[in-house]
């Protein structure tokens, strides 16, 4: 859900061409002033200014302390986000992916002008996705089984962790009732082994379910026709790169040093990942199209609840972007559930 409000535009033009919407806009000085005041108020609440209690410094002192440029930047970002939602609604656009933003003119007390370029949901010639889903999810599945070795391997791992925490050798940690109870809400060693086996079964079932979901997506994608805007592929590659850099960082490695070690560059990685990025984008477009055709939309209350949980972990994230992300995840899950119900025994 994009934040929307009534905006006053001194200029607004929207041109659609080759799968993109190009927006050129200028909002009135009065409207931009309201964003300035709102963002300055947020900065004031958090600002620590010598000689004043937190949040109590005069606005003029806060501006001098943080710099007018910082307030303008925050106001411009808020204004663009609000105007974007307003324009999408007014022009009945179906954007996919974030817009590319160019700020043209920003100054206190003046109109604020900017341009946006955003990829639009492409025209999709969908195959009979219900038929494809029925065939895939009707395939005979093997029963999930768990060997004693798999359970023992988990227990061995737990014993090693326990021994390391206590600073003793692994052979000093015996699998007994006391050890089981020390790990959590387990009655005894037998209960521990039972719960481990159940968890492994659940994990395997989850992997099998995900495998079948991707299989049906691949079949639908193969039999459907669409033109994917390159901007969406690039945005997906940006997301994949950011996630990969984060993974490398969490391993305690510098990303530039890692690239040197594996003899890769960001550009070569993006080239290697492009086919995966194209597949990811295609899958998301198909999921969105099915949701639209079948009028699938998650409960608004649940969206808000899950958004609040997400923002608790990522306090600096944009609430609107977090909400849109949550809505997409929940919608995708409901679409997959809908497709799974196409198998005969599910009806």
Over residues 241-273, the pLDDT tens digits come to 999 998 998 889 999 999 999 999 999 999 999
Q: What average pLDDT does the segment 63-75 reach?
A: 87
Q: What average pLDDT does the segment 206-213 reach?
A: 93
Sign of the CA dihedral running 108, 112, 114, 116: positive
Q: What is the pLDDT of residue 119?
A: 83
The highest-level CATH class for domain 9-120 is alpha beta
> Helix axis angle, 59-66 relative to 29-46, nearest 10°?
80
Flag whether pLDDT at 181 surpasses 70. Answer: yes
Q: What is the pLDDT of residue 1?
A: 37
Q: Which residues contact 243 (CB under 8 A, 6 or more apart)?
A: none
> Helix axis angle, 230-250 relative to 266-293, nearest 10°?
120
The residues spanned by each domain of the chain are 9-120, 140-216
SS3 per-residue string spanning the chain? CCCCCCCCEEEEEEEEECCEEEEEEEECHHHHHHHHHHHHHHHHHHCCCCCCCCCCCCHHHHHHHHCHHHHHHHHHHHHHHHHHHHHHHHHCCCECCCCEEEEEECCCCCCEEEEEEEEECCCEECCCHHHHHHHHHCCCCCCCCCCHHHHHHHHHHHHHHHHHHHCCCHHHCCCCHHHHHHCCCCCCHHHHHHHHHHHHHHHHHHHHHHHHHHHHHHHHHHHCEECCCHHHHHHHHHHHHHHHHHHHHHCCCCHHHHHHHHCCCHHHHHHHHHHHHHHHHHHHHHHHHHHHHCCCCCCHHHHHHHHHHHHHHCCCCCHHHHHHHHHHHHHHHHHHHHHHCCCHHHC
Percentage of residues in the chain having pLDDT higher than 70 = 97
Q: What is the pLDDT of residue 4?
A: 43
Q: What is the pLDDT of residue 141?
A: 79
Q: Which residues contact 52 (CB under 8 A, 6 or more apart)?
A: 58, 61
Flag whether pLDDT at 57 surpasses 80. Answer: no
Q: Give residue-wise pLDDT tens across range 309-332.
A: 999 888 777 787 788 889 999 999
């Amino acid at each position: 859900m994009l934040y929307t409000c009534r905006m006053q535009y001194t200029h607004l033009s929207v041109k659609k061409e080759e799968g993109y919407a190009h927006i050129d806009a200028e909002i009135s000085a009065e409207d931009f002033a309201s964003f300035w005041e709102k963002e300055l108020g947020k900065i004031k609440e958090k600002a620590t200014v010598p000689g004043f209690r937190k949040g109590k410094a005069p606005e003029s002192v806060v501006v001098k302390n943080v710099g007018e440029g910082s307030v303008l930047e925050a106001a411009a970002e808020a204004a663009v986000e609000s105007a974007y939602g307003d324009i999408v609604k007014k022009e009945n656009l179906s954007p996919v992916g974030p817009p590319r933003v160019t700020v043209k003119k920003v100054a206190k007390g003046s109109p604020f002008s900017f341009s946006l370029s955003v990829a639009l949901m492409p025209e999709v010639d969908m195959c009979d996705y219900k038929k494809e889903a029925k065939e895939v999810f009707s395939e005979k599945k093997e029963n999930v089984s768990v060997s004693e070795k798999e359970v023992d391997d988990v227990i061995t791992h737990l014993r090693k962790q326990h021994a390391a925490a206590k600073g003793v050798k692994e052979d000093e940690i015996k699998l007994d009732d006391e050890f089981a109870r020390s790990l959590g809400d387990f009655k005894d060693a037998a209960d521990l082994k039972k719960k481990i086996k159940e968890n492994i079964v659940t994990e395997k079932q989850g992997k099998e379910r995900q495998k079948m979901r991707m299989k049906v997506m691949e079949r639908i994608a193969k039999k459907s026709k669409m033109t994917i805007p390159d901007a969406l592929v690039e945005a997906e590659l940006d997301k994949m790169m950011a996630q990969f850099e984060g993974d490398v960082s969490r391993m305690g490695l510098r990303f530039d040093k890692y690239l040197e070690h594996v003899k890769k560059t960001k550009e070569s990685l993006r080239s290697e990942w492009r086919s995966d990025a194209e597949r990811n984008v295609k899958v998301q477009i198909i999921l969105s199209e099915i949701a639209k055709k079948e009028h699938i939309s998650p409960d608004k209350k649940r969206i808000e609840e899950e958004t609040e949980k997400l923002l608790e972990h990522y306090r600096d994230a944009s609430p609107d972007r977090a909400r849109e992300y949550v809505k997409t995840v929940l919608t995708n899950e409901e679409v997959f559930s809908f497709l799974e119900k196409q198998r005969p025994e599910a009806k």
